[in-house]
Structure 1
């Protein structure tokens, strides 16, 4: 990219980003950092997709080894750097993953022997209970503590990030405008024609629009998740983000370890319904004290938008068995959808030299988006 900023051509840009979710904003930020003139075109009046319907949990520990873990570490550093400038609160830090089954403890021991276990601690249950009284650890084997994680309030952070990019970095945002055709440098939208030397297409679940044939080659499907907001008793405070045994057979940093096979077999006997619904427990806390709790995973080309009470009750059962809660009043329920792949955590496709299609296919956009954008620009 030339970085000319093309000041005399208001409809000409060095980079045009399609989509104002976290992956699109990460590309806009990375380009702006390099001195480029950037435009983001978003079909909705504001970001209302998966980027605001998640935990805001920047997850490092347990990510797949290699590029995904490396990208998550980079993204965490970017979040830490930009949050105070963009007015984004880091609500809490750290991860506490409780292992209740001996097989889960074995997985954590194996994880600690990997390079990704560096700076983490494997605590015995008594030590963890003293440090984290909100956890229910009477029957726990051990607890993995990670210092790496942080949490932002995603439903506000995305808007604040977009405002900061516009006000401080001069990024142009065109909300309520659909991109109909990309043939760089020409981009045709529902409102006219724009020009950009390069285009990053970050359209999340829109698998049948721009570059549909190329996206189809990656054999993606959609994943619907269910989440809850729960009001605990006054004064209840989490020590950080919380997970438990079920996450160890879902996150590839744990699940690909040989020791995970025995845990998976036991969970299949004891928690078949949770596994069938793709449930694993994550709990984070908002500034108002409420807990964001989830989630489940159901796959299909057109997943129904209807939440299931059975799934909510399973999630709540795991919540109550993992935390020392007196009350858990549901105040909100919602679903989210993201593209999913069985073979890759993200798609980076090059229809031509001037265009990149970038989709996160593992539900980890908040955790890896800035790292992915960094890699895209380094190779582009």
Structure 2
């Protein structure tokens, strides 16, 4: 747990075992006088996205009485708007890679409990240029000693893994068997059901929380008495503890993404696909000295891709649809208008190395996630008994269960 301690400023909480219950007593509400009926739980989770659900699961498994609050009818933030990829291959070597691998183990257990599909399709980082090949081979040489499961495939074996790739100029690929594709919609619907039915967790949708001051957590319609609270509010920096966020260094990152129609005849993509553009973003490939040359070439030859932080990654959902993206625009307030130029650049690059049966785009959207330019996540305790966790960047699906396990073990022991 030494990796978590630098981000934490206060203490821990005790252990109580029982289902969440309702008891009657009165408290003072900051607005509107008395609240006559109050609920009781050990832990309140604020935020029904993947990170909040992960903390709720671990807290419930530790025997805690848990209540989870989600401001919308269902989570609508970054957890609902991503590839659905569990992506250990993208994490830097060290404790984040180990956290991602542990998270993967936990996801397999959890998805089995939910009876949710989870094809372990793996991933390919395909290489069409000499510098991409150099980075790929170097990574496959250095990576296993750093904890990565990977191998270099020549062009023929790469095509055997995925017949959607263009053969011309293909040099090979970095293959990893560990990546898993899940459906975010299934996760956000089935995991709450599991929490309610198996772990007796209370879940309150359409319940924006306006006050967190243990022993009180208060929404606009009810109040709960709790021992502690974990706030996983994503990019909402303004509602709860705005002073913490103001000095946190957190940014928002906007992404543009797209989805095709389901591919015909039950055609399957196989591994999730990435290419040279993705290598420059990935924390894993930073171990390769040859990566600098690749970055310089892309910055020189592809300035518009550099400007918008574009790479072209594609995964396939359970119904056969392809999810495509993405771009990266950073700032406190991301532009809410999508840019046609960005979508065109993504599709043009994707077309340079793939050929699909049906490229019809049926959905376009943007996602926004919290990101810290220097830390892998943001963790703070603004008052005793309250933990704020956000800023896992684009790795929420990949890290959430492993990160929540570490946090809950530390604070619920």
Q: Normalised by the size of structure 1, how large is the TM-score? A: 0.95
Instruction: Establish whether residue 378 from structure 1 lines up as the match of residue 391 from structure 2.
Output: no
Residue 321 (structure 1) aligns with: 352
* Other-structure match for 1:106: 134
Match in the other structure for 1:2: 15
> What is the rounded CA distance, in whole Å, between the counterparts of 1:148 and 1:222 in structure 2?
29
Q: Identify the residue that residue 331 of structure 1 maps to in structure 2.
A: 362
Secondary structure, counterpart of 1:111 in structure 2: helix
Match of 2:183 in 1: 153
**Separation in 2, partners of 1:8, 1:297:** 44
Which whole-Å deviations, capped at 9, do the CAs of 1:126-149 have from their partners, x for residues lacking one?
Answer: 221133222224312220110111
Matched, 1:203 2:244: no
Match of 2:333 among 280, 296, 302: 302
Using the alignment, how far apart are the partners of 2:233 and 2:111 within structure 1? Answer: 24
Q: What are the residue-to-residue correspondences of 1:156-175 with 2, within 5 Å?
A: 156-175=186-205
Q: Note the C-alpha offset of 1:116.
A: 4.1
Q: Deviations over 1:51-97 (max 9, x none)?
A: 01000000001212222212211111111111122132114521111
List runs of 5+ in structure 1 lacking aligned partners: none
Mapping for residues 23-172 of structure 1, pairs under 5 Å: 23-112=51-140, 113-114=142-143, 115-116=145-146, 118-172=148-202
More displaced 10-residue stretch of structure 1: 280-289 or 84-93: 84-93
Deviation at 1:322, TM superposition (A): 2.1
Please give the per-residue CA displacement for 1:167-196, whole angstroms capped at 9, x wherever unaligned.
111110011111111111211221132111
The answer to whether the aligner puts 1:271 opposite 2:302 as a matched pair is yes
Contact 1:339/1:360 (<8 A) preserved? yes
**Alignment deviations for residues 227-257 of structure 1 (CA, whole Å, 9 cap, x no partner):** 1011375233211211100111101111353
Q: Is the 8 A contact 2:376 2:392 kept in 1?
A: yes
Q: Number of matched residues?
A: 380
Comparing 312-321 with 49-58, greater Cα deviation is found at 312-321
Q: Distance in 2 between matches of 1:351 and 1:327?
A: 50
Cα deviation digits, residues 266-310 of structure 1 (max 9, x gap): 111222111211111110112222211001111121112221111
In structure 2, the partner of 1:362 is 393
Deviates more, 1:114-123 or 1:307-316: 114-123
CA 1:126 to 1:266, structure 2 compared with 1: closer, same or farther past 3 Å? Answer: same
| C-alpha distance in structure 2 between counterparts of 1:119 and 1:7, whole Å | 42
Contact 2:92 2:286 in 1 (8 A): no
CA contact (8 A) 1:125 1:138 kept: no
Provide, for residues 11-65 of structure 1, a one-character-per-residue CA deviation record: whole Å limited to 9, x for no partner.
1111100000000000000111111110001111111111010000000012122
State the TM-score, normalized to the length of structure 2.
Answer: 0.88
Q: Which of 382, 385, 389 is matched with 1:351 structurally?
A: 382
From 231, 249, 257, give the equivalent of 1:227.
Answer: 257
- After alignment, is 113-122 or 96-105 more displaced? 113-122
Q: Which moved more, 1:124-133 or 1:330-339?
A: 124-133
Q: Where do 5+ consecutive residues of structure 2 fail to align?
A: 1-13, 24-38
Match of 1:158, SS state, is helix
CA distance in 2, matches of 1:27, 1:319: 36
CA contact (8 A) 1:52 1:156 kept: no
Q: Using the alignment, how far apart are the partners of 1:83 and 1:33 within structure 2?
A: 15
- Higher alpha-carbon Rg: 2
